Structure 1
């Protein structure tokens, strides 16, 4: 529960953004808040930027930081607290955690230009046309989802080693020709910009520089690299699989029926290679997914596919459904790609789905098709047959080879009391 709104015995938590230029770069309001604070909380580097006239008790964040926030606020309740943050506290900063732990009226934020704003200014890049990816406390692999020819990226670094990790990932994902610029200590007297090409094994020489840096990338794909678009339906070759893969054209139709929206959670039941969950998460950085796969070997393969395709946050549950579904958070959508004949599976997924949620199930067998036909009679929705044929050589000519048709049931769960059509 969040602390109560500030009253006579409580105080506002002031969050002050500070840059590499330190005290000299702060406006009067930020300086006044820091002078007045009885408790000054921040990282050691940030606290060292303050002059002696800021006489409050200096408290360095412990590690890990996020779990410590409630206890620190509680320990200093009633005191005038100032929290130091790098740049803009509400842009991938500590401001989010503090907002989650305090009432809105108990938080005062005094921002400083973010490193992304500084970098865009130095590079002459319109910030609205740039994709910003943070790897602070997150896997560098998530950068892979943003790699598209010609796109400009700003990578918020976790430290001095991040530029090298970014360069290695670009090489590994077929973007070795990309241009990198590492911008260090932006806005401060030690500001420096270093440029290189990712394919040049940089920054192995010179060695990594300042830990306070941001990496700018102009994406260039190698001619031989597999092209991965932004829309669902990635090439089948993008996935490691053992044949258990929702093929490209069916996958695109399935994602269209699932209709992912920002922030939503998918259950991918019978994950196989994880392709549906992976492409659900690639539609928006805030989309989440849990894939349930009973085969441990396939579960490990799903993890590798998720990391390679830029969604390492995919949660993988190794176990058989419906038992493995019992402790999962409620989904916004469910995809059943395998195991439909498992007793109680379809009903368990339907019961877990909240009103307004969507369920999509695919099958190629007559036995599972009968289950979907029965569910269609009971719940409505759409029951369709999807068929794909590929042109193949037939002697000296070309003919069509038909893939196994897929029966798909797609439905939205409607509250019966709403009177809405299904």
Structure 2
């Protein structure tokens, strides 16, 4: 049941669901209300580890383990027990990277009764003495390991939710490869339970190939000497990118992202992706939920592969890369909130296709260095307004024994917001 109608039909008869968080301390650590809910449940749904924490004498309900993959099976599983008192077990706080979010999206929050337990992150901060509100959490559960890279900043403290006993070793290898070998890693296992344990080391000499599957990683980030410093604002150093010369340079890139104005949850089309820098920095602007989304369209297969490598190296592996020539390659893509055109402006129908794809309020930004494309942008500016600017950057370079300015090619940029009355 993957279509919306099928899901709605499957869960139509499902009543209120209790969602109970449980920790490594099991039954003994549950609040009175949580215990009362579990005792009364006719059906107990959860992971095998969570179900095993409940004493049979206190919780006589039928035990149903989650199948894998989980999300597609949820509507049918709940529907199979419609009309019965159902309690779903969750690890820690059900609404923090937990099953609670999935159930709220499928059933609606008004049909849930959530009983939270302290999350593993709350326990970790308590053990480490870190203020919870100042500590960023990165989940690697069902997410690419490369996603951690964008959160790495010198002196930053991070908590990482792992997936499986090999996650700490994989994180340590990533940190070494990306120039963060001096980072201190602490693995906090079985937090809140009788088997709680702390493992300590650095990424450079991490000795543990495997740890307990139930763990949180704490990172004290230390960048290796000579490593490239990557900030949180647009305009990363050009050296951060692998490229063949087709790269929107740093200062123009910063101005371009300012014109595109990314906001959480929005989708960008980066048309003529080149090295992927615009799409990558769009994603880095809001990489946590609700994250920005981006699609890079590039006709060269070699450059498309390079875009994917850059996205992974800079911590945004979610960048979708479409290999093909625009405008044909744009057909069927989801509706964008913003479009950047960095190449191929004179291709017949390209600007028309991008403009037609934008909804009211969508933004379009196009850059060029050629007279032919500049003339095209001038015509579109005359038709639709917006802003037409020329960006000029000069860098200081040696001139004999002195220093002078070397002018880069000026970039003409057109940016516009599509109005509800424009076509």
Q: TM tier, shorter chain?
A: over 0.9
Determine which of 85, 89, 97 is the counterpart of 2:102.
Answer: 97
Matched, 1:360 2:365: yes
Alignment check: 8 A CA contact 2:393 2:408 kept = yes
Q: What CA deviation, in whole Å up to 9, does each residue of 1:142-182 have, x standing for no partner?
A: 01000011111000011111111111111111111111110
Q: Which residue in 2 is equivalent to 1:11?
A: 15
Q: Which residue in 2 is equivalent to 1:420?
A: none
User: What is the rounded CA distance, in whole Å, between the counterparts of 1:176 and 1:207 in structure 2?
Assistant: 16
Give the superposition deviation at 1:3.
Answer: 4.9
User: What is the rounded CA distance, in whole Å, between the counterparts of 1:262 and 1:152 in structure 2?
Assistant: 23
Structural mapping, 1:183-194, within 5 Å: 183-194=188-199
Q: Which residue in 2 is equivalent to 1:399?
A: 404
Give the superposition deviation at 1:10.
Answer: 4.3
Q: Which residue in 2 is equivalent to 1:251?
A: 253
SS at match of 2:60: coil
Structure 1, 252-261 or 35-44: larger mean CA deviation: 35-44
Q: Which residue in 2 is equivalent to 1:47?
A: 51
Structural mapping, 1:131-150, within 5 Å: 131-150=136-155
Give the superposition deviation at 1:255.
Answer: 0.4
User: What is the rounded CA distance, in whole Å, between the counterparts of 1:378 and 1:198 in structure 2?
Assistant: 56
Unpaired stretches in structure 2, ≥5 consecutive residues: none
Q: What CA deviation, in whole Å up to 9, does each residue of 1:378-405 have, x standing for no partner?
A: 1100000011111111222211111111
User: What is the rounded CA distance, in whole Å, between the counterparts of 2:324 and 2:94 in structure 1?
Assistant: 40
User: What is the rounded CA distance, in whole Å, between the counterparts of 2:109 and 2:103 in structure 1?
Assistant: 10
Determine which of 239, 242, 256 is the counterpart of 1:240.
Answer: 242
Structure 1, 48-57 or 270-279: larger mean CA deviation: 48-57
Aligned residues: 412
SS at match of 2:88: strand
Structural mapping, 1:23-422, within 5 Å: 23-52=27-56, 53-200=58-205, 202=206, 205-285=207-287, 286-416=291-421
SS at match of 1:83: strand
User: What is the rounded CA distance, in whole Å, between the counterparts of 2:221 and 2:183 in structure 1?
Assistant: 5
Give the superposition deviation at 1:75.
Answer: 1.9
User: What is the rounded CA distance, in whole Å, between the counterparts of 1:58 and 1:84 in structure 2?
Assistant: 11
Give the superposition deviation at 1:11.
Answer: 2.0
The ranges of structure 1 where at least 4 consecutive aligned residues each deviate by more than 4 angstroms after the TM superposition are: 1-4
User: What is the rounded CA distance, in whole Å, between the counterparts of 1:35 and 1:306 in structure 2?
Assistant: 49
Give the superposition deviation at 1:105.
Answer: 1.8
Alignment check: 8 A CA contact 2:157 2:218 kept = yes
Give the superposition deviation at 1:374.
Answer: 0.7
Q: Are the structure 2 counterparts of residues 147 and 206 from structure 1 closer, same or farther at C-alpha, using a change threshold of 3 Å?
A: closer
Unpaired stretches in structure 1, ≥5 consecutive residues: 418-422
Q: Are the structure 2 counterparts of residues 206 and 10 from structure 1 closer, same or farther at C-alpha, using a change threshold of 3 Å?
A: closer
